[in-house]
Amino acid sequence: MSALKFKRTKFACYAAYFTMSSVFCFPALLFTTFHDMYGISYTLLGTLVLTNFCTQLAVDLIFTFFSKKFNVKIIVRIMPLLTAAGLLIYALVPTFFPNIAYLGLLLGTVIFSISAGFSEVLLSPTIAAIPSKNPQRDMSMLHSLYAFGVFTVAIITTVYFKIFNTETWVYLALFFAALPVIAAVLFMTSPLPNMDGTESAQGVTKTKDRIIGTALCVACIFFGSCAENVMSNWVSSYAESALHVDKAIGDLLGLAGFAILLGLMRMGYAKFGKNISVVLLVGMIGAAACYWVAGLSLHAVPALVACMLTGLFAAMLWPGTLILMEEKIPSPGVAAYALMAAGGDLGAALAPQLMGAVVDNVAASGFAAELGAKLGLTAEQIGMKTGMLVTSLFPIFGMVVVLVIICYFKKHPLNKPQGLPLKAGNG
């Protein structure tokens, strides 16, 4: 079939990926609201992020091992409706779960996370299967839309809360729940290309070098995902609670600034990028430095700028590791991409949860009260800043992994592979 016939299908993929970003950043923008209105601890709020990515991880693995049991085309068409259903449950929390709000939030998170997991597995190969003169550009555009989706959600949320108070967040949730329905309608009225979701690398000899190289890439994407997702999930609450920045300014310069730099960097690499190993090394070093500045600065401006710049340095840590694996390991196969997705999702699940646990435990300690009194900060601010410093360990470990990867593949070079990945993640 011609590329023209799939034009609507391609747009549907873009729309689905763009609207999917709401399920990642919208709950994070409401962390402080949920904490104040329902008394939910930061540890439990971090658990929502953990639930999100663990659910995606489970979907990734189930689909990888049991892909023949699924009707791919049906799943592609209904997965935006699952996104809408999860956000709708969020909106119904005050009505149906007033005394157990966290249970409602947890249920909604599981449902839209199932959709996000299927989106990760299926949208990239759908785009790759559509005839195109420049398939790499189409793939880059797909993953750039995640960052621009986060930016858009942050802007809309900020403007909404400037006009209305945060207690009316329910209506905003209803608005975001309606958007994925558009993508569902586009999918249902568009042809879908044939995709072989069961492709494997059975014809390739699994040598020790390949196994070690793949394991190193999985470790790299894990640490890179940690560096990206802690900031994307916590920057709004950090700006408001730790820096005492107005919520609107914090969301615009924090999350929105982070997201726009994330997207621009990915688009820039798609057009001009090369030497992905160097890009990953610089990204890890830069992300660690940003977390240190955010955690140590006693002034809001440099701390907020550091939060924004984390988006620039973390932008290529997830997709760049996939590019690195393709360059270094010939014909990695869908199993390798599933492992990469698992590594990324695991980092995205554990690191934000760790941040929440650090904030709660440090804030409740005598150390935080004593240090806060000396610095003129609250115990919660000390907890938040400590969380940022602890998070800096992830890109530091990632930097070590990248250096090991560079040395390893110099000693154990493998043939350069061809083709696009079937699985490119959500980062």
Q: Which residues of the chain have pLDDT under 70?
A: 1-4, 64, 66-68, 128, 134-137, 139-140, 195-206, 331-335, 338, 415-427
- 253 class by beta-carbon count within 10 Å (0-12 exposed, 13-18 middle, 19+ buried): buried
| pLDDT computed for residue 2 by the predictor | 55
One-letter identity of residue 364:
A
Q: How far is the C-alpha of 65 from the C-alpha of 335, rounded, in Å?
A: 9
Residue with tokens 């990632």: 398
DSSP result, 379-414 = HHHHHHHHHHHHHTHHHHHHHHHHHHHHHHHHHS--
| pLDDT computed for residue 7 by the predictor | 85
| pLDDT computed for residue 386 by the predictor | 95
Identify the CATH number of the domain defined by range 9-193+207-411.
1.20.1250.20
Output the CA angle 324-24-337, nearest 5 degrees: 30
| pLDDT computed for residue 315 by the predictor | 92
What the block records as the tokens of 354 is 């760790």
| pLDDT computed for residue 387 by the predictor | 94
| pLDDT computed for residue 331 by the predictor | 67
Q: How far is the C-alpha of 16 from the C-alpha of 182, rounded, in Å?
A: 8
Residue with tokens 């108070």: 165
Q: pLDDT digits over 205-219, tens only?
A: 457 778 888 899 999
What the block records as the tokens of 322 is 């996939």
Question: Do residues 227 and 354 touch, judged by C-beta distance below 8 A?
Answer: no
| pLDDT computed for residue 4 by the predictor | 61
| pLDDT computed for residue 187 by the predictor | 92
Question: Do residues 119 and 143 touch, judged by C-beta distance below 8 A?
Answer: no
Say whether 85 sits in a helix, a strand or coil.
Answer: helix
What the block records as the tokens of 311 is 């988006």
Report domain extents, the chain.
9-193+207-411
Phi first, then psi: what are they for 157, rounded to 5°? -65, -40
pTM here is: 0.74
